[in-house]
């Protein structure tokens, strides 16, 4: 079956069909600007309907005979590469092409048909449209045409692309561009819309055009503060003109217009100052500054400002909003503590006032508000160098108590002037302490008659018992700051000592005897002043009397009933004991011995038992039964004494009992002569003893002597 062309001017079966079209110049080579098409009623699945297109002729053939090409399968007509470079409407403005269509594909057989294609070369109308200025929130009927583009071809399809929401802009087949709804500049202020022109194959005829659309601003946004409420704190001594805080409002309208140009204003202040506002705000900056240099936290602790932000530079028709600014005034330590008075006292106190007594309490005040700034610390700046007084601070109450810390002494200090200062614990700001922050406390010390004071709590000395009367024992020293005083001795029962009332010298007045007082003599010294009432002080004097060897030893006990048997019996003896009143170092041990007489040395034996006792026995087996008088010698250190001891010798029974009365020994003197002999014997040594006994009887009449204990053993026969 023969092919039939379907042209834009009609379709023909057996005759040629001429097709005309318009096309823009300067097309890219290979881009079709029109299509020729034919139909074949044969089976499309067989070669009978396999159509192929071909340009047979081109009129005119200038500047080249191959200005155009055709796609053999689709019938798409396009400029060749050579034609794209040579096409010029000023030289050739019209071309005519004879196009053949043939079935059976590339086979030489088949039906053919011809068509004439008229091509007119015109100027390029694919030009970018002018930028569009469009008011936001425009109240019109939508869609609204905003621009138009045109491609010189009947075979064209337009489309739009950009980063705008789908459907916001559209374009119709005639190239008219529309906006479909109101625009919001604050959402997007500018649009760059790309406009595309494509052939029916979806191939771009040329580069897309760019349509610039700017949304014009409308004052439709209120200035908005970054904070609804601002809080700031300033110190009360802040200088005038100081920046307090910056408030900021933002307007999302076009910043290049007055719609977004904001000015600030303080609408109100609470509490309001007598001179107006205490604060000022920068009209354009929003910086709040202090206008009043006299802020005091004690007067106003917080200010409340209502601040306005208006766009359009505050002109009529603009929009505005407000915020609140709270300004807290902070107290600073700019007030020093002050005393209610600068002098306190005088306060009289007797010098015997007890330590720990409250002298006085004074108070200072501080006008600051903060507790930590009102806390006051007191100190004694002068007048208490010896720490006689102690101060106790009570910072929260602003008081200080002065207490007596050491004893007062009128004789040393009669008055005190304490300079007391008051300071804050926190550093003082902007001011210095002055005289009102110090006070003088006047304390008078009243005299009280005081007891004398001894330099020692106790006197203790040692002295030999044989010192000469008049020897200085010690010197008592006492002090009385008030009045004259005199010393005296008390409990000097033996009147051994005396004291000088002026010098306090204690001297020995009589011969001392250690054996009378047993080493230690106690007495007291009393010092009494002449005041009214009189005051006294006393202390002990302990005197250690040191022993000297001034007492001879003597026999202790009665030996008249003791006897020895003759002839001598074994283990018979008489135990004798001696004693010395001196101390141990001048008494024991004793050395017992017989007198240096041959008869005594032969007839008797004496053997020491211990330091104070000895055995007296017969030296031979037989002595005449009678009363014998063996002489004994006792030696103590450098002293040696002789004693006569009578010993009875008798005949004894077998039981050891003396069985005969012993008669007078031949040659033995009579009783009278015996007494004379004894008196004469002891006369030599009795003189010394007599002196001692007389002395002791005179000095120790009121005190009994105590003898050292000694071992006493009864004399008995050992027969």
DSSP, collapsed to helix, strand or coil, labels residue 89 as: coil
CA angle, residues 570, 574, 577, in degrees to nearest 5: 145
Hey, what domains does the chain have and what are their CATH numbers?
4-122 (2.60.40.60), 132-216 (2.60.40.60), 224-330 (2.60.40.60), 338-444 (2.60.40.60), 453-546 (2.60.40.60), 554-663 (2.60.40.60)
Complete edge-to-edge strand list for the sheet that includes strand 631-636: 591-594, 631-636, 639-644
Contact 37, 1 (CB under 8 A): no
> Among 628, 621, 636, which Cα is nearest to 591's?
636
- Ordered mean pLDDT values, 10 residues apiece, the chain (719 residues): 40 37 55 86 90 93 91 89 85 91 88 90 85 92 94 87 87 94 91 91 87 92 95 89 94 92 95 86 94 83 95 91 95 87 94 93 87 87 94 86 93 93 84 85 88 87 91 88 80 92 92 86 90 83 86 78 86 85 77 80 87 87 82 48 71 83 45 44 59 56 37 33
- DSSP code for 683: H
The runs of H, that is alpha helices, within 226-376 are 371-374
Please tell me the pTM assigned to this model.
Answer: 0.45
CA angle, residues 72, 74, 78, in degrees to nearest 5: 75
CA 361 from chain centre, in angstroms, equals: 32
CA 584 from chain centre, in angstroms, equals: 72
Contact 211, 129 (CB under 8 A): yes
- Position 693 scores a pLDDT of 61
User: What does the DSSP assignment read for 390-449?
Assistant: EEEEEGGGTEEEEEE-S---TTT-SEEEEEEEEEESSPP-S----GGGEEEEEEEEEP--
- Position 655 scores a pLDDT of 83
Task: Give the contacts of 51 (CB within 8 A, at least 6 positions apart).
Answer: 3, 38, 40, 101, 102, 103
Q: Count of alpha carbons within 13 Å of 695, Cβ hemisphere only? A: 14
Give 701: exposed, middle or buried? Use CB within 10 Å, 0-12, 13-18, 19+: exposed
- The strand ranges marked E within 448-553 are 453-454, 459-464, 472-475, 478-479, 485-490, 497-499, 505-508, 520-529, 536-546
- Position 107 scores a pLDDT of 86
Contact 431, 437 (CB under 8 A): no
Contact 590, 568 (CB under 8 A): no
d(CA 453, CA 253): 101
Contact 180, 145 (CB under 8 A): no
Task: Give the contacts of 680 (CB within 8 A, at least 6 positions apart).
Answer: none
- The H or E element that residue 679 is part of is helix 671-699
37-39/472-475 β-pairing: unpaired
- DSSP code for 517: H
d(CA 378, CA 439): 10
Contact 41, 139 (CB under 8 A): no
Length of the chain: 719
Give the dihedral of Cα atoms 293, 294, 295, 298; nearest 10 deg: 160
CA angle, residues 621, 622, 628, in degrees to nearest 5: 115
d(CA 515, CA 705): 8
| Alpha-carbon radius of gyration of the chain | 75
- The phi-psi region of residue 145 (left if phi > 0; otherwise alpha if psi is between -120 and 50; otherwise beta) is beta
- The H or E element that residue 647 is part of is strand 647-650
Contact 399, 340 (CB under 8 A): no
- Position 335 scores a pLDDT of 84
> Among 637, 602, 634, 601, which Cα is nearest to 620's?
602
> Among 376, 414, 406, 374, which Cα is nearest to 392's?
376
- Position 702 scores a pLDDT of 40
d(CA 507, CA 469): 8
- Position 682 scores a pLDDT of 59
Contact 513, 696 (CB under 8 A): yes
Contact 336, 433 (CB under 8 A): yes
Give 639's strand partners: 636
d(CA 327, CA 287): 13
For residues 501-539, one letter each, b for 16 or more C-beta atoms within 10 angstroms of the residue's C-beta and e for the rest, the string is eeebebbbbeebbbbbbeeebebebbbbbebeeebebbb
Cis peptide before 438 (omega within 30 of 0): no
Give 278: exposed, middle or buried? Use CB within 10 Å, 0-12, 13-18, 19+: buried
d(CA 152, CA 205): 10
């Amino acid at each position: 079956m023969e092919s039939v062309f379907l042209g834009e001017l009609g379709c023909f079966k057996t005759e040629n069909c001429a097709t005309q079209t318009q096309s823009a110049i300067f097309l890219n080579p290979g881009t079709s600007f029109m299509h020729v098409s034919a139909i074949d009623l044969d089976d499309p699945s067989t070669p009978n309907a396999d159509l192929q297109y071909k340009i047979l002729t081109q009129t005119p053939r200038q500047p080249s005979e191959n200005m155009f090409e055709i796609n053999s399968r689709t019938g798409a007509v396009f400029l060749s590469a050579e034609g794209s470079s040579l096409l010029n409407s000023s030289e050739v403005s019209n071309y005519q092409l004879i196009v053949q269509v043939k079935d059976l594909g590339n086979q030489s057989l088949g039906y053919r048909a011809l068509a004439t294609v008229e091509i007119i070369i015109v100027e390029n109308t694919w030009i970018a449209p002018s930028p569009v200025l469009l008011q936001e929130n425009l109240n019109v009927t939508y869609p609204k045409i905003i621009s138009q583009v045109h491609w010189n071809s009947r075979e064209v399809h337009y489309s739009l692309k950009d980063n705008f929401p789908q459907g916001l802009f559209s374009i119709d087949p005639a190239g008219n561009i529309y906006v479909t709804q109101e625009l919001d500049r604050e959402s997007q202020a500018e649009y760059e819309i790309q406009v595309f022109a494509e052939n029916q194959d979806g191939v771009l005829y040329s580069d897309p055009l760019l349509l610039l659309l700017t949304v014009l601003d409308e004052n439709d946004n209120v200035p908005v503060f970054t904070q609804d409420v601002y809080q700031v704190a300033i110190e009360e001594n802040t200088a005038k003109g100081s920046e307090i805080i910056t408030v900021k409002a933002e307007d999302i309208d076009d910043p290049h217009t007055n719609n977004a140009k904001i000015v600030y204003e303080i609408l109100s202040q609470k509490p309001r100052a007598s001179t107006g506002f205490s604060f000022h705000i920068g009209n354009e900056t929003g910086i709040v500054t202090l206008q009043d240099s006299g802020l005091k936290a004690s007067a106003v602790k917080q200010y409340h400002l209502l601040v306005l932000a208006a766009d359009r530079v505050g002109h009529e028709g603009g929009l505005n909003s407000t915020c609140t600014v709270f300004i807290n005034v902070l107290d600073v330590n700019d007030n020093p503590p002050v005393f209610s008075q600068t002098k306190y006292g005088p306060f009289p106190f007797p010098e015997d006032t007890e330590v720990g007594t409250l002298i006085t309490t004074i108070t200072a005040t501080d006008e600051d508000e903060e507790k930590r700034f009102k806390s006051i610390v007191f100190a004694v700046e002068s007048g208490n160098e010896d720490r006689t007084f102690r101060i106790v601070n009570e910072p929260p109450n602003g008081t200080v108590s002065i207490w007596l810390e050491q004893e007062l002494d009128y004789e040393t200090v009669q008055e005190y002037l304490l300079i007391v200062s008051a300071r804050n614990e926190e550093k003082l700001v902007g001011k210095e302490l002055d005289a009102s922050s110090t006070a003088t406390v006047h304390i008078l010390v009243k005299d009280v008659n005081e007891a004398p004071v001894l330099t020692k709590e106790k006197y203790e000395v040692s002295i030999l018992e044989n010192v000469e009367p008049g020897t200085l024992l010690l010197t008592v020293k006492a002090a009385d700051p008030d009045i004259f005083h005199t010393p005296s001795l008390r409990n000097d029962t033996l009147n051994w000592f005396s004291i000088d009332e002026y010098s306090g010298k204690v001297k020995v007045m009589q011969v001392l005897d250690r054996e009378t007082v047993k080493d230690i003599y106690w007495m007291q010294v009393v010092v009494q002043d002449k005041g009214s009432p009189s005051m006294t002080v006393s202390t002990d004097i302990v005197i250690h009397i040191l022993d000297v060897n001034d007492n001879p030893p003597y026999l202790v006990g009665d030996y008249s009933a003791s006897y020895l048997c003759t002839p001598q019996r074994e283990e018979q003896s008489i135990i004798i004991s001696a004693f010395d009143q001196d101390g141990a170092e001048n008494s024991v041990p004793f050395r017992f011995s017989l007198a240096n007489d041959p008869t005594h040395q032969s007839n008797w034996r004496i053997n020491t038992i211990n330091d104070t006792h000895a055995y007296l026995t017969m030296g031979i087996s037989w002595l005449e039964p009678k009363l014998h008088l063996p002489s004994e010698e006792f030696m103590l250190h450098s002293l040696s004494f002789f004693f006569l001891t009578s010993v009875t010798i008798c005949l004894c029974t077998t039981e050891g009992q003396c069985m005969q009365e012993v008669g007078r020994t031949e040659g033995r003197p009579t009783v009278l002569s015996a007494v004379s002999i004894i008196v004469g014997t002891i006369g030599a040594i009795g003189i010394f003893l007599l002196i001692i006994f007389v002395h002791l009887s005179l000095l120790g009449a009121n005190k009994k002597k105590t003898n050292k204990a000694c071992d006493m053993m009864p004399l008995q026969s050992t027969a």
